[in-house]
Amino acid sequence: MEYIRRLTESLEVWQFVVVGVVTFVVMRKLRRYFTVLKKYTAEGKTILITGANTGIGRAAAIEFAKRGGRVILACRDTEKAKRAAYYIRERTNKGLLVIKQLDLSSQDSVRKFANDILATEDRLDVLVNNAGVFGLPYGLTEDGIETTFAVNHLSHFLLTNMLLDLMRKKKHARIITVTSMLYARGIIDIDDIVKGGHKSSSYSQSKLANIMCANVLSSRLAGSGITVNSVSPGMVKTDLARHKIGESFMKNLMYETVGRLLLKTPEQGCEMIISCALDPDFKSTTGKLFRNGQKLELNDVAKDESTALRLWDVCMDLTNLH
């Protein structure tokens, strides 16, 4: 009888767990149908998004276009960008779409891209630093920078600084950096920053660098009308993990199954980006980190101002901006 009683109790616990998981999954999936972003307008605005051909970047591009914005799709592969533009046009005929080639693993490409934008655009209202990589094997770019750090942080650092004068032409402009809560695992090793390390830690380091430099820039732009904020979209089902998963059938099957059940959709993942970019209430908000509609407190490492300033100077040196 004791055995039966314990078995019954175990079954009750598992029933509770199963009900909890099913409820979570159902609520997560229903949220996509009941969450409606406020009708912020992007009319008359030019918005530049890196990595706009897939995932969160493409979802954000759709939302900006729906609101009448002129959206620059900055992508490494222009053929994929064209397919993304077609995908966007299937969902809205509003707004304007512009495709530009940008390879974030090359500072030369970033400079050519930025100079092209400066020569052809008369305004830039919103810059969304979205593109990123995760789980890459260790390697160096043509500039001698560890690839993950170069793509996720340093090239965006260069791009942002090169476009500041254009953004200053507008009374109000906004810079949004897409980061990750994995920043909390990052450590900024100034002396070894260009060498990187394990592929997971280099990602965390790049995401921490995103936030620290965004906050330094926010301070330097105080009173300019340009705001700088960071957004963590949460766990979103995109192809960001493709290098980590590889070609393993089982890993891909598990990711597809679990992803569909538990992860956010790209549409859900881009919601905070749209708010930070267009919400009038964010006009003066700067130097903050947002996730799931909430402002988050940074950990002590991310708030280390002396390390942030040293990191800024190193990034200036590595991009020859001094």
CA 254 to chain centre: 24
Distance CA 314, CA 190 (A): 8
148 close to 203: Cβ distance less than 8 angstroms? yes
225 close to 172: Cβ distance less than 8 angstroms? yes
DSSP 117-156: HHHH-S---EEEE-----SPPS-B-TTS-BHHHIIIIIHH
**φ, ψ of residue 28 in degrees (nearest 5):** -60, -40
What are the residues facing 127 on neighbouring strands?
48, 175
Distance CA 300, CA 65 (A): 38
Distance CA 180, CA 185 (A): 10
Query: 88: how many CB neighbours lie within 10 A of its CB?
Result: 25
Which positions are annotated as active-site residues?
A: 203
Distance CA 303, CA 300 (A): 5
Q: Retrieve residue 108's tokens.
A: 């030369």
Mark 121-152 as b/e (b = at least 16 C-beta within 10 Å): beebbbbbbbbbbbbbeeeebebebbbbbbbb
Distance CA 177, CA 57 (A): 12
